Structure 1
Amino acid sequence: MTAVRPEVVAFDVNETLLDLGPVRAALVELGQPADLLPSVFSRTLLTGFAAATAGTWCRFRDAFDAALAQTTDLDAGRRAQVAGAFAELSPHPDVEPALRRLVGAGVRVVTLTHGSPGVAEAALDRGGIAPLVERSLSSEAIRAWKPAREVYLWAAGVCDVEPGRLALVAAHGWDVHGALRAGLTAAWFPRAERSYPAVYDPAAIVAGDLAGAVEALLALPAP
């Protein structure tokens, strides 16, 4: 399928749009290593993915708590303190100009996460860019985790567009792969990941940064 200019662009939230620095700081404040967060975040995803693959489901917050319990000696109260730092996240500096570029070009913008409802909205408000985002979608509403195909198709339905007119932008290769398998256009750029995994379906766009991903989407041919 040939990629075309999207009518709607959905952005992954954690890491792609939002800086997880406050969560890292909360861990350090409780005596944990400064480099612990990537392994906790990866184990959170593993927990959620495994539950979904096995035919069950859990909330992102519960998966994060389980990951903390497996990797630290923090008690339940201190783990809740770390999880609470998700409410303090803010957008990366490159997010506002990227969203403004899309909106200025007449493209609708949404967020799509399997994270806790309200996190994206609060962070967008904190960054002063909430008016640029049409809606924030959490797949908790359908008890599913990305990269399940149903999440991307559900998002397309909510946005009232065909899957091929919805694009996903994410800094996670597994997310891009899931979107591609659901028939979306998908763009990857690096944050924590250094390269797009060769074992996945080729992304429609692999860009050097967020701005490049947005410009490449806008340069796609009209349908």
Structure 2
Amino acid sequence: MTRRRPDVVAFDVNETLLDLSPVRAALVEAGQPGSLLGTVFARTLLTGFAAATVGSWCSFRGAFDAALAQETELSEEARGSVADTFRELSPHPDVEPALRRLVEAGVRVVTLSHGSPGVAEAGLERGGIAPLVERSLSSEVIRAWKPNREAYLWAAGTCDVAPDRMALVAAHGWDVLGAQRAGLTGAWFPRSERTYPAVFDAPHVQAADLAGAVDALLALPG
């Protein structure tokens, strides 16, 4: 199937748009190695994915707290303090020009996260780029975790577009795979992952960086 230039581009939030450095710093302040963040974040996703797979559900914050409890001996209060720093995130430097390029080309921009509502909005406001984003969507509203197809179809429906007229840009291969299986155009670039998982269906769009991913989407035929 030939992919078409999207009317709406949805962006994953954590790591794709927002820098998790404040969370890493909070771990260090709590006496933990900053390198632990990768393990905790991965376990958070594992917990959420597992719950969704068996037909259950938990919030991102709940999964993150459970991951911290498994990987550290931090108190409940200390874990809460670390989790609170998700509201202190800021966009990566390459985010503003990428989003502005889409908006100036007449493409609608939204965010799509399974993170807690308000996290994306706070980060966009902190970076001064909230006006570039039409709306921020959290699949927590429908108690679904990406890469469940329900999350992507809900996002497309909320934006009043057919799935094939929406693209999902993410630095996580599993997210791009989920979007593509739901009928969206998937675009991947390296940020936290060095390579796209070879065991997944190839991404519709793959670029060396965020700017390249956006340019490739805009270059698709209308």
- Distance in 1, Cα, partners of 2:193 & 2:219: 25
**How high is the sequence identity, in percent, across the aligned residues?**
77
The amino acid across from 1:214 in the alignment is V
Task: Report the 3-state secondary structure (helix = DSSP H, G, I; strand = E; otherwise coil) of the residue aligned with 2:201.
Answer: coil
The answer as to 2:209 corresponding to 1:212 is no
Q: Out of 198-207 and 166-175, give the one that drifted further.
A: 198-207
- Distance in 1, Cα, partners of 2:150 & 2:88: 30
Deviations 1:114-172 (A, max 9, x none): 00000000110000000000000000110000000010000000000000000000000
Task: Report the 3-state secondary structure (helix = DSSP H, G, I; strand = E; otherwise coil) of the residue aligned with 1:190.
Answer: coil
- Distance in 1, Cα, partners of 2:210 & 2:87: 23
- Distance in 2, Cα, partners of 1:127 & 1:105: 21
The amino acid across from 1:28 in the alignment is V
Alignment RMSD: 0.4
- Distance in 1, Cα, partners of 2:6 & 2:143: 26
Task: Report the 3-state secondary structure (helix = DSSP H, G, I; strand = E; otherwise coil) of the residue aligned with 1:186.
Answer: strand
Deviations 1:20-52 (A, max 9, x none): 000000000011012000000000000000000
- Which residue matches 2:121? 121
- Which residue matches 2:66? 66
- Distance in 2, Cα, partners of 1:118 & 1:110: 14
The within-5 A match list for 1:1-223 is 1-222=1-222
Task: Report the 3-state secondary structure (helix = DSSP H, G, I; strand = E; otherwise coil) of the residue aligned with 2:123.
Answer: helix
- Distance in 1, Cα, partners of 2:120 & 2:133: 10
Task: Report the 3-state secondary structure (helix = DSSP H, G, I; strand = E; otherwise coil) of the residue aligned with 1:46.
Answer: helix
Runs of 5+ unmatched residues, structure 1: none
Normalised to the residue count of structure 1, the TM-score between the two structures is 0.99
Task: Report the 3-state secondary structure (helix = DSSP H, G, I; strand = E; otherwise coil) of the residue aligned with 2:110.
Answer: strand
Per the TM alignment, residue 61 of structure 1 is displaced from its structure 2 partner at its CA by 0.1
- Distance in 2, Cα, partners of 1:199 & 1:183: 19
The amino acid across from 1:217 in the alignment is L
Per the TM alignment, residue 2 of structure 1 is displaced from its structure 2 partner at its CA by 1.2
Normalised to the residue count of structure 2, the TM-score between the two structures is 1.00
Per the TM alignment, residue 185 of structure 1 is displaced from its structure 2 partner at its CA by 0.3
- Distance in 2, Cα, partners of 1:118 & 1:111: 11
Runs of 5+ unmatched residues, structure 2: none
- Distance in 1, Cα, partners of 2:125 & 2:218: 26
| Poorly superposed stretches of 4+, deviation over 4 Å | none
Task: Report the 3-state secondary structure (helix = DSSP H, G, I; strand = E; otherwise coil) of the residue aligned with 1:97.
Answer: helix
The amino acid across from 1:108 in the alignment is R
- Distance in 2, Cα, partners of 1:152 & 1:31: 38
